[in-house]
Amino acid sequence: MTYRDDEFAHAERARALIDEIAALEREKLAHATTEQRLEDARRQLASLSPPQPEALPHTPSALAHAIAFCVAAAAAFAGYSLLF
């Protein structure tokens, strides 16, 4: 057994949900439009700005060379000490 008030409450809730869904769909559409405009603006900016030069490859520093030399010298000393 249902009451008319229950049917009215269900209908009101359904209308409220439909309105909420419609509002969310409009927001979603507006957000998608904004995202598209953002991508277009980024593409246009990239086409206007000059190409960036490629970064030079990173070369080892003098400290790295000194460390490698010390390790090689220590290994040679240890090897020479073990042989003789």
pLDDT 10s digits, 12-71: 999 999 999 999 999 999 999 999 999 999 999 888 877 777 777 788 899 999 999 999
In a domain, 83, yes or no: no
Domain with 44, as residue range(s), is: 1-49
Residue 68's H or E segment, with its range, is helix 62-83
The pLDDT value recorded for residue 25 is 95
- Cα separation of 8 and 16, whole Å? 12
In the chain, what's the furthest Cα-to-Cα distance? 107
In a domain, 77, yes or no: no
25-21-18 Cα angle (round to 5): 140
Enter the pTM of the model: 0.43
In a domain, 66, yes or no: no
- Residue that the structure tokens 């220590």 belong to: 74
In a domain, 73, yes or no: no
